[in-house]
Amino acid sequence: MMRHKGRMTRDGIRIHEPGDFAGMHAAGKIAAQILDEVADLVQVGETTGTLDEFIERRVEELGSTSATIGYKGYQHASCISVNHVVCHGIPGDKKLKDGDILNIDVTVVVDGWYGDTSRMYVAGKLSRKSERLIQVTHDALMRGIEAVRPGNTFGDIGFAIQSFVEGQRMSVVRDFCGHGLGQVFHAPPNVLHYGRAGTGPVLEEGMFFTIEPMVNLGRPETKVLADDWTAVTRDKSLSAQFEHSVGVTRDGAEIFTLSPAGLFHPTYEM
Ligand code: MF3
Ligand code: CO
Ligand code: CO
């Protein structure tokens, strides 16, 4: 089998073939299923390391491999980002406390195809302000996905997200973005979660990429801690993120990482 079929745009964005959607769907479904399964374990007193051990085991049991173990030296099957951690939180032995909100991000490889998705969870009781942050972040992702169709641009996606989030008086993180993926983890383009309508590369059927907005209650600036991974809000405000892997279809988007159990949002209503 040819490893990389299809052609490439001038911007270096791969145009996949119709048959490639099935591979992405299979990978995305396993990543989403694992995020469904871990939901029950998110409890006060549980450690993020325990959640990651469960995820690592399920990745193997489901016949997939982790894309993050060994990626640039990263050693875990998930990133778990609690409260003011924006992304790339490293699982460890810190216990979850009542009211903590956390993003769990899993990327698996199935038959060479990558499935990358993340969503928000809560330990114990959800505060009103956390609930609002999670709701706005989820809706921002879905508005971004609604802008996905051939002929629209990547700037249209960023604009849809940014204008919505800022209209809710929250801020969009600029320091991290979504990315092309397929038979590689991170590929062109950078999918910005802010921008101007009509700018950037034009979307074409067969493009595969993630949209993964990070939204802060305070200011958008972040910094990376001394562990070289953990990104936090500079002002210590709460941050949330949701991520789907999508493919551009003839007239819209296919979401590869839909939750098989319908738990993508709101997980706290289970
Ligand atoms: N899954 C993350 C993303 O959405 C990347 C994590 S890389 C890691 O792109 F090494 F930190 F795991
Ligand atoms: Co991603
Ligand atoms: Co991810």
Alpha-carbon span 148 to 54, nearest angstrom: 34
Other Cβ atoms closer than 10 A to 128: 7
Please indicate, yes or no, if residue 5 is contained in any of the structural domains. Answer: no
Q: Is residue 24 part of a domain?
A: yes
The mean per-residue pLDDT over the stretch 254-259 comes to 98
List pLDDT tens digits, range 45-88. 999 999 999 999 999 999 999 999 999 999 999 999 999 999 99
> Rounded to the nearest whole angstrom, what is the distance from the C-alpha of residue 190 to the centroid of ligand 2?
10
Query: CATH code at 34?
Result: 3.90.230.10
Q: Whose CA is nearest to atom 3 of ligand 1?
A: 116
Contact 35, 117 (CB under 8 A): yes
- Ligand 2 centroid from CA 93, angstroms: 24
Q: Which two tokens stand for residue 7?
A: 């052609």
User: Is 79 near ligand 1, meaning CB less than 6 Å away?
Assistant: yes
At residue 236, does pLDDT exceed 80?
yes
In a domain, 242, yes or no: yes
Residues 6+ apart with CB under 8 A from 197: 153, 155, 156, 159
**Residue minimizing CA distance to atom 7 of ligand 1:** 68
* Cα(39)–Cα(33) distance, integer angstroms: 10
Average pLDDT over residues 143-155: 98
Atom of ligand 1 nearest to the CA of 78: 12
Task: Return the residue whose CA atom lies nearest to atom 4 of ligand 1.
Answer: 116
Domain that holds residue 195: 11-255
pLDDT, tens digit, 9 for 90 and up, residues 200-222 = 999 999 999 999 999 999 999 99
pLDDT of 270 > 50? The answer is no
CB of residue 105 inside a 6 A radius of ligand 1: yes
| Binding site membership of 71 for ligand 1 (Cβ less than 6 Å) | yes
Query: Which region among 39-53, 69-83, 191-205, 252-266 has the lowest average model confidence (pLDDT)?
Result: 252-266
Q: Cα separations (Å) of 89 from 79, 81, 238?
A: 5, 4, 14
In a domain, 177, yes or no: yes
Domain membership of residue 82 (yes or no) is: yes
Q: How many domains does the chain have?
A: 1
**Is the shortest distance between the CB of 243 and ligand 1 below 6 Å?**
yes
